[in-house]
């Protein structure tokens, strides 16, 4: 099983549309650990770690987000695993 860890930055209309809750539910459904939070510049940031195909499923969801979201940009950066990740949490 190959583990994959990435950091996402999602821009567009992604705050106030349940984006964080949606990514949390999608991550949990796909057995992906990590966290998600809103940024002051109106983007959403997330760190995802899990089996490669499961992380890819969450990334795919993030291209569209929940109803009401308008994703204008998605940046996916590979990341080294330096911190232990919780199951999946929404950070404030």
CATH number at residue 63: 3.30.70.100
pLDDT value at residue 53: 97
- The structure's pTM equals 0.94
From 5, 7, 37, 38, the catalytic residue: 38
Kindly state whether residue 8 falls inside one of the protein's structural domains: no
pLDDT the model gives residue 80: 87
Sheet of 44-51: strands edge to edge? 70-78, 3-13, 44-51, 33-38, 89-91
> How much is the CA Rg of the chain, to the nearest whole Å?
12
Does residue 13 sit within a domain?
Answer: no
pLDDT of residue 52: 95
Cβ atoms of residues 61 and 26 within 8 Å: yes
Percent share of the chain, pLDDT over 90 = 88
Does residue 25 form part of some domain? yes
Give the tokens for residue 52: 């490669």
Please pick, among 5, 20, 43, 54, the residue that the annotation labels catalytic: 20
The domain of 57 spans 19-91
- Clarify whether 30 is annotated catalytic: no
């Amino acid at each position: 099983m190959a583990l994959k860890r990435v950091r996402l930055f999602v821009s567009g209309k992604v705050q106030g549309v349940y984006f964080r809750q949606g990514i949390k539910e999608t991550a949990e459904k796909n057995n992906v650990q990590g966290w998600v939070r809103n940024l002051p510049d109106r983007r959403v940031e997330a760190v995802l770690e899990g089996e490669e195909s499961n992380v890819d499923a969450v990334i795919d969801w993030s291209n569209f987000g929940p109803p009401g979201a308008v994703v204008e940009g998605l940046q996916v950066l590979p990341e080294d695993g330096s911190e232990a990740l919780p199951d999946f949490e929404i950070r404030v």
